[in-house]
Amino acid sequence: MRNKQANFSKCINMLTFDTEEWFHANFTGVNPARFRGKGSNFRAQADDILKLLSDTGSRATFFTLGSVAEDYPEVISAIAREGHEVASHGYGHQLAYRQTFQEFREDVQKSIAILEDVTGRRVAGYRAPSWSIVESNLHYLEALEELGLIYDASIFPVKTFLYGIPTAPTDIHKPRINGRELSLYEVPTSVIKLFGRNIGYSGGFYFRLFPVFFIKRAISRANRDGKAVIVYLHPREIDRTERKLVLPLKEAFIHYYNIGSTRAKLEEIMRQFCFTSVLDYLQPRLSG
């Protein structure tokens, strides 16, 4: 086990959790309102994650839904007290590209107000539900700039049926919209090149799909090249006992494949590599 007093300013990797409930999914026919308030293991999942972070001397960013902070204010407050970053995941897990610019701005603003009230701390970052900042709504990043956020972590440089900008830069950068460089940083999700295409490996379905030795090798390779890696998971992905949505075969495979081994895989990776929050990782750039 690493020293719990890890020097987070020197951590080259970032650990993030999309902090939502088991029923938050952006597949056709899924309505989260049907399940809200009707039971989940969320408190136990959060406790487990916080203990894992403490045991491995890690720090993380929790991209949190405003609705979850409303339902579990004591949990989100505890996350902040433990020294982790609480950032915005929007309010109700709506796809950003199905909102108008104003709807998107109001959704993020609402979530920020709730999170700041619960934690007593400024919200610095945002991640869109299901990576739903894509080419068609890239200008929505201007709304985040208007709201005073420091960074966005919504862009996945891949292409899937649900999300992705495969030509997006893979390094942290300040995006340009209509020829103007924004004042916020974009922190894209980690990818590797396989057969000429960008492929995710460090979170969600990809994390559950690839064997642990492959993920560890990819992280080590990125770190040797001086590149940061972002690991991302959802609380439900470390809990094989959580309730499950009834989904078509393809969506069920994507959403639930290999849930049973995820926690052990995450712990093994957390014990080998140093992880910090997105905001902590960006501090040298912000103070430079």
> Per residue, what are the HEC states of the chain?
CCCCCCCHHHCCEEEEEEECCCCCCCCCCCCHHHCCCCCCCHHHHHHHHHHHHHHHCCCCEEEECHHHHHHCHHHHHHHHHCCCEEEECCCCCCCHHHCCHHHHHHHHHHHHHHHHHHHCCCCCEECCHHHCCCHHHHHHHHHHHHCCCCEECCCCCCCCCCCCCCCCCCCCECCEECCEECCCEECCCCEEEECCEEEECCEHHHHHHCCHHHHHHHHHHHHHCCCCEEEEECHHHHCCCCCCCCCCHHHHHHHHCCHHHHHHHHHHHHHHCCEECHHHHHHHHHHC
State residue 3's pLDDT score.
39
Q: What is the per-residue pLDDT for 11?
A: 75
Q: Where are the domains of the chain?
A: 8-287
What pLDDT is stored for residue 5 in this prediction?
Answer: 45
| pLDDT at residue 287, rounded to an integer | 83
pLDDT tens for the chain, 288 residues long, are: 343 445 555 678 999 999 999 999 999 999 999 999 999 999 999 999 999 999 999 999 999 999 999 999 999 999 999 999 999 999 999 999 999 999 999 999 999 999 999 999 999 999 999 999 999 999 999 999 999 999 999 999 999 988 999 999 999 999 999 999 999 999 999 999 988 899 999 999 999 999 999 999 999 999 999 999 999 999 999 999 999 999 999 999 999 999 999 999 999 999 999 999 999 999 998 986
- For residue 171, give Cα distances in angstroms to 13, 105, 183, 191: 13, 25, 16, 10
Residue 2: the pLDDT is 41
- The CATH number given to 8-287 is 3.20.20.370
Q: Which of 106, 70, 107 is nearest to 89 (CA)?
A: 107
pTM for this structure?
0.95
